[in-house]
């Protein structure tokens, strides 16, 4: 797949782009914790953030210079957003494509761009893209109806994981298929929506790489993180993961293929499966800052949030070498009620997202621990 | 001087104080860069910040959950501020005392408290306090009229520095007196306001210590910084300053006397003169986070801004040990126009304050450089 250049606007990595000057406004679609930490990073560099979110009093809005509370496709809000922001980004991958199109038509430079968004929004498009750029992933089959499942299962082997093509996250919209007879129940469980069936991957570890690409085409990646999920939700990341140089090089090669293939600008999260033979398969990509990169907030001079702001603003990417080993633990639901314990622990670096309601499993904050120095 | 306890409200370090829970609102009087970085630190811990400032679009307001634009003594604004904030602080020491009194009367817990504010607002009160707690400072004389200057000069020795008692900062409101005949001109130069004449101190270096005290009485101090001023404005801080253990211990003793003597809660900046014989004199105190502590933003796990938020919120103080040596350089006026140079320098950690207007000498941002590892 060749890097895509938007002929209409000339928007492409490699295209000339004057760096966005401080005091300019950066738009962020979405008001959650990722938007919040992006807004904080933008502020550090002297930028104003403008948040567009349907949520009143969203975590990101409470640290931003301005906020528009409206549906993402509200035309009046989008026009105002476009009037304020020369550059905009998003903190979640389910932004409707028509919203991005409308903003670009209004002259807003969107980063990442529409191709990255479209690819990440559809698991079939995503895996097709992986193959096109020579990146390995689990075997898969497109499932439009329950009746497609038995044949696909026979080809992929049982058990296999049925996922909605679109809009699943944190383990939602997924169901295991162990036998052909499970087809109807599994398809119903995911809402009888267009789906993908993925062959089970017998991985050794879950890793991820957080990488960035600038408008100039410059690429920088943080060291890999090793991740533990519980019930489909990230529990813990340890970084840098202890991996061989070959594995690190393989991950960087994968990230580079993905970034270049999507003509990507910004930070991308790439979830990887490490196989027993050392091969890395891509699980999925997130076209945004990523939970498995939160460790960079306390272990790197330039964290993933500042890196994303730098990339989309046309600034040079920052250094990615950590100064310490780190362990990041998510605080889910009422786990954040123990904030006083973390506050009293001199080893714990606490981040809270300002969410009032601690519903079960909701990401309320995280704790970073520095676990040792890295050799110079 | 005995620590002062406010009998009316029981407000005192050592008094029982339930830690402020995340999502609560912390009030900040003042909208400049110190308020901005306090608001960012508050956000990290899940707090909302509410800024009260007469300035539209102030640097701090642009990163805060809410803002009240009004004169500091506007009764309607103060009532609203008090309704929103259980705890409040200030980012500059010239907050009118009546404002703090009114907020306390409305049930807001102010930290630092009125005694610290009153002491820091009046150079005579400040130096009288230094003597009361056994802390050395330059010899001084109270000057109510130009006619007082010759006699004071004879006692203190020439040259001596005439300063307004109140409201001077960054070298403003100061004039050197070299001979008795300078008296009228010097007094006129500082606005013919109530003044203090300070004997010249032949110091070897300018140092500072950033220290914090919690409601519980707990004290924590960062290592000393060595500071360079130009035209009365801080240019550069290098930290940790290379000082003997005895000097470090002396500085901690001074900071502790000041914090305890003022029954202080929050971060205090203490400017010190190091004499040839190793003795430290206090130049002045700032009852707030301090420019000479900006290096902590990139060289410490808990920086001075988070430390201040922790202290005033009744949270345990964080660790103060840096993980690297650092050098902080202020970007004054149009120096910040070189932001692209700093952005491209992997050793430079840039902070910009979001100020649109770069008037000469205005603090627009700063750059931290990590200059080496510290031994474990």
Asked whether the predicted pLDDT for residue B121 surpasses 70, the reply is yes
Choose, out of B23, B36, B44, the residue to mutate when testing the contact with A (most A CBs < 10 Å): B44
So what's the pLDDT on residue A372?
87
A58 touches chain B (CB under 8 A): no
Backbone torsion region of residue B340, taken as left when φ is above 0, otherwise alpha when ψ lies between -120 and 50, otherwise beta = alpha
So what's the pLDDT on residue A1?
36
This prediction's pTM: 0.94
Answer yes or no: do B64 and A63 touch at CB < 8 A: yes
Asked whether the predicted pLDDT for residue A21 surpasses 90, the reply is yes
So what's the pLDDT on residue B267?
98
Phi, psi of A202 (to 5 degrees): -85, 75
Please report which confidence band the pLDDT of residue A17 belongs to, taking 50, 70 and 90 as the band edges. Answer: confident
A311: closest chain B residue by CA: B343
Architecture of domain A25-120: 3-Layer(aba) Sandwich (3.40)
Please report which confidence band the pLDDT of residue B275 belongs to, taking 50, 70 and 90 as the band edges. Answer: very high
Asked whether the predicted pLDDT for residue B27 surpasses 70, the reply is yes
User: What is the least distance, in Å, from the CA of A152 to any CA of chain B?
Assistant: 47
So what's the pLDDT on residue B232?
84
Domain boundaries, chain A: 25-120, 139-199, 205-373
Contact of A30 with A90, CB cutoff 8 Å = yes
Measured CA to CA, the distance from residue A305 to residue A28 in angstroms comes to 12
Phi, psi of A104 (to 5 degrees): -65, -40
User: What is the least distance, in Å, from the CA of B53 to any CA of chain A?
Assistant: 15
Contact of B198 with B136, CB cutoff 8 Å = no
Asked whether the predicted pLDDT for residue A170 surpasses 70, the reply is no
Please report which confidence band the pLDDT of residue B1 belongs to, taking 50, 70 and 90 as the band edges. Answer: very low
The superfamily in CATH containing domain A139-199 is ATP-grasp fold, A domain (3.30.1490.20)
Mean pLDDT for B247-252 is 98
Q: Tell whether the torsion through CA atoms of A286, A290, A291 and A296 is positive or negative.
A: positive
Lowest mean pLDDT across A357-366, B13-22, B351-360: B13-22
Q: Which residues of B touch A47 (CB under 8 A)?
A: 354
Asked whether the predicted pLDDT for residue B7 surpasses 50, the reply is no
Q: What is the mean pLDDT of chain B?
A: 93
So what's the pLDDT on residue B9?
42
Residues A205-246: tens digit of each pLDDT = 999 999 999 999 999 999 999 999 998 899 999 999 999 999
Measured CA to CA, the distance from residue A290 to residue A288 in angstroms comes to 6
What CATH number is given for A205-373 in this structure? Answer: 3.30.470.20
CATH 3.40.50.20 fits B25-113, yes or no: yes
Asked whether the predicted pLDDT for residue A284 surpasses 70, the reply is yes
Helical H runs in chain A?
33-44, 75-84, 97-105, 114-121, 123-132, 149-156, 183-189, 245-261, 296-299, 304-312, 339-343
Picking from A46, A48, A354, the nearest residue to B23 by CB comes out as A354
Asked whether the predicted pLDDT for residue B5 surpasses 50, the reply is no
Q: Which of B303, B305, B306, B360 is nearest to B331 (CA)?
A: B360
B56 touches chain A (CB under 8 A): no
Choose, out of B39, B41, B43, the residue to mutate when testing the contact with A (most A CBs < 10 Å): B43
Q: What is the mean pLDDT of chain A?
A: 93
Q: Which residues of A touch B346 (CB under 8 A)?
A: 318-319
User: What is the least distance, in Å, from the CA of B232 to any CA of chain A?
Assistant: 25
Q: Which ipTM value was assigned to this complex?
A: 0.94
User: What is the least distance, in Å, from the CA of A151 to any CA of chain B?
Assistant: 50
So what's the pLDDT on residue B12?
53
B363 CB-side CA count, 13 A: 22
So what's the pLDDT on residue A204?
97
So what's the pLDDT on residue B169?
62
Picking from A301, A310, A350, the nearest residue to B45 by CB comes out as A350
Lowest mean pLDDT across A101-110, A280-289, B5-14, B127-136: B5-14
Mean pLDDT for B326-334 is 97
A159 CB-side CA count, 13 A: 10
B203 touches chain A (CB under 8 A): no
Please report which confidence band the pLDDT of residue A167 belongs to, taking 50, 70 and 90 as the band edges. Answer: confident
Please report which confidence band the pLDDT of residue A12 belongs to, taking 50, 70 and 90 as the band edges. Answer: low
Residues B173-214: tens digit of each pLDDT = 899 999 999 999 999 999 999 999 999 999 999 999 999 999
Contact of A307 with A212, CB cutoff 8 Å = yes
Q: Which of B212, B209, B222 is nearest to B313 (CA)?
A: B212
Residues B309-323: tens digit of each pLDDT = 999 999 999 999 999
């Amino acid at each position: 797949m060749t890097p895509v250049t938007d002929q209409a606007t000339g928007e492409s990595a490699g295209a000339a782009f004057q760096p966005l000057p401080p005091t300019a406004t950066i738009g962020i679609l979405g008001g959650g914790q990722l938007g919040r930490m992006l807004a904080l990073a933008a502020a550090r560099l002297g930028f104003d953030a403008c948040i567009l979110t349907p949520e009143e009093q969203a975590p990101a809005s409470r640290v931003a210079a301005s906020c528009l509370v409206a549906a993402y496709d509200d035309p009046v809000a989008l026009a105002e957003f476009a009037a304020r922001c020369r550059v905009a980004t998003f903190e979640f991958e389910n932004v409707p494509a028509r919203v991005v199109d409308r903003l670009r038509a209004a002259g807003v430079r969107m980063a990442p761009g529409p191709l990255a968004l479209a690819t990440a929004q559809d698991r079939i498009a995503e895996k097709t893209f992986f193959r096109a750029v020579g990146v390995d992933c689990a075997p898969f089959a497109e499932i439009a109806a329950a009746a497609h499942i038995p044949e696909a299962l026979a080809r992929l082997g049982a058990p296999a994981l049925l996922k909605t093509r679109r809009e699943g996250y944190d383990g939602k919209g997924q169901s295991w298929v162990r036998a052909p007879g499970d087809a109807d129940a599994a398809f119903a469980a995911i809402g009888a929506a267009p789906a993908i069936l993925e062959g089970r991957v017998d991985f050794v570890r879950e890793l991820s790489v957080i990488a960035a690409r600038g408008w100039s085409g410059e690429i920088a990646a943080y060291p890999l993180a090793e991740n533990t999920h519980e019930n489909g939700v990230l529990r813990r990341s340890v970084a840098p993961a202890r991996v061989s140089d070959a594995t690190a090089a393989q991950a960087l090669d994968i990230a580079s293929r993905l970034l270049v293939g999507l003509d990507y600008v910004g930070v991308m999260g790439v979830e990887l499966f490490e196989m027993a033979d050392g091969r890395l398969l891509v699980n999925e990509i997130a076209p945004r800052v990523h939970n498995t990169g939160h460790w960079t907030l306390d272990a790197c001079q330039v964290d993933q949030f500042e890196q994303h702001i730098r990339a989309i603003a046309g600034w040079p990417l920052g250094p990615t070498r950590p100064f310490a080993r780190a362990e990041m633990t998510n605080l889910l639901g009422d786990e954040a009620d123990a904030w006083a314990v973390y506050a009293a622990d001199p080893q714990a670096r606490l981040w809270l997202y300002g969410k009032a309601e601690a519903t079960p499993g909701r990401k309320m904050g995280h704790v970073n621990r520095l676990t040792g120095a890295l050799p110079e």
